[in-house]
Amino acid sequence: MDDAIQSDPREEIIETVSSEMNRIRRRMDEIRDQIEQMQAAVDKEQSKYSGIATEIRNVKDNLDTIPREDIRDKYDEALDVRFRLATMRGQLEKFEGNYGELEKQQELLGQILASVQGVEMLPSDGSVGGETSSRAGLDVVGIIRAQEDERYRLSRQMHDGPAQSLTNFILQAEICQRLFDRNPDRAAEELDSLKTNASRTFQKVREFIFDLRPMMLDDLGVAPTVRRYVESFSEKNDVEIKLEIVNDDRRLENHREVMIFRGIQDLMAAARDYGAPAEMNIRLDMGTDPIRILVQDDGRGFDSDAIDLVNNDDDYHGDGDARISLLSTLNSKFELVGGDVTVQSNETDGTTVRIEMPAGDF
């Protein structure tokens, strides 16, 4: 057969994998829509159940004046709503499970595609130059995966925090509306409670916004932003933190300041979530080139020999898996600007992470 018309097996693999990834992405989009619709239905049913629960509490307070038939009907209504709510939550968990499985398949196919494309770009003399291309593809996959994980975390945080609080505000407002004519004193108590909850939620929203994108990072720079974040983190998590910043008035390019802040933020959160430390030590040296960052904690560590920050060890399985994945992705991000991440950790002596990043173009 003529070589000109022979198909390239590598191209066939790329086309097949790309097609399958597109199909999975479309299916994931469909399931995401189902999750959002089901979540809205669950929230609506939860609000209804909360309202009925409030009415049942009022029934208990007035058992002598409410007809027995009305009491029975109200309890039957509560049982029906509870059954529907349990069924909906089961369906929601199933959708989320399906989405997670597809996400894993998408990740695997992305790694395969990146590897094949990297091999395709090997030089003709058979040298290892293509390894860099392959690794770059895998780094992009890891960074995209981290971004999607962060979006999912933020959406859950919004749902479990401000969104749920707003639902409760609506319920309390409806209770106040019903009580104004019948029991003004009780209505006043509910309004006081509503005001307190609104103030508490407002503070949580402000903290959420700061964690998401602190405005002072653009206005004042990375050093003051890190100081404020560390103070807030220490208060909220009951962790003693020693912070040292050298040459704190120095300003860098915006994207470098963002990377420094996010790096420290992610490492502190990972130490809290997976290590449960009592003390942390953070040092940011802005007076050198490269910029140097140290984040050290005395919490439960992991076997750092199980991780290669350049080639993530997929054979390692343990409590440190998520932390290892974060460190691998963090290293990939800093490598893009010529930086480097090194980790020392074991299960008894805590974890030390050092980051170096050029202060300017490299």
Q: Tell me the mean pLDDT in the region 275-301.
A: 92
Q: How far apart are CA 351 and CA 292, in angstroms?
A: 17
Alpha-carbon distances of 132 from 123, 137, 143, 295, rounded to whole Å: 12, 9, 16, 29
Q: How far apart are CA 275 and CA 91, in angstroms?
A: 34
Span 72-100, pLDDT tens digits: 777 777 777 777 877 888 788 888 888 88
Question: Which of the 8 DSSP states describes residue 4?
Answer: G
* Residue 258 near residue 213 (C-beta atoms within 8 A): no
Relative to beta strand 240-246, strand 279-285 is parallel
- Single out the residue of 327, 332, 325, 321 nearest to residue 343, CA to CA: 327
The kind and range of the H/E element at 294 are strand 291-297
- State how far Cα 275 lies from the chain centre: 17
129 band by pLDDT with thresholds 50, 70 and 90: very low
Whole-angstrom Cα Rg for the chain: 27
* Residue 294 near residue 353 (C-beta atoms within 8 A): yes
- State how far Cα 200 lies from the chain centre: 22
Most confident of 5-9, 106-110, 333-337, 350-354: 350-354
Span 174-210, pLDDT tens digits: 777 777 777 888 778 878 888 888 887 777 777 777 6
pLDDT at residue number 22 = 81
Residue 225: other Cβ atoms inside 10 A:
23
Q: Tell me: pLDDT of 163 over 70.
A: no
Contacts of residue 192, Cβ cutoff 8 Å, sequence gap at least 6: none
Q: Where are the domains of the chain?
A: 1-120, 214-357
Amino acid code (one letter) for 190: E
pLDDT at residue number 143 = 55
Q: Tell me: pLDDT of 46 over 70.
A: yes
Alpha-carbon distances of 155 from 143, 149, 151, 222, rounded to whole Å: 18, 10, 6, 26
pLDDT exceeding 70 applies to what percent of the chain?
A: 75
pLDDT at residue number 41 = 83
Q: Environment class of residue 295 by beta-carbon count within 10 Å: exposed (0-12), middle (13-18) or buried (19+)? A: buried
Q: How far apart are CA 108 and CA 87, in angstroms?
A: 32
337 band by pLDDT with thresholds 50, 70 and 90: confident
pLDDT at residue number 148 = 60
Q: How far apart are CA 324 and CA 330, in angstroms?
A: 10
Q: Tell me the mean pLDDT in the region 203-219.
A: 73
Q: How far apart are CA 359 and CA 353, in angstroms?
A: 19
For 348, the token pair is 């008894």
Helix axes of 184-212 and 164-182: crossing angle, nearest 10 degrees: 170
pLDDT at residue number 153 = 60
Q: Tell me: pLDDT of 132 over 80.
A: no
Q: How far apart are CA 123 and CA 126, in angstroms?
A: 6
pLDDT at residue number 19 = 82
CATH architecture of 214-357: 2-Layer Sandwich (3.30)
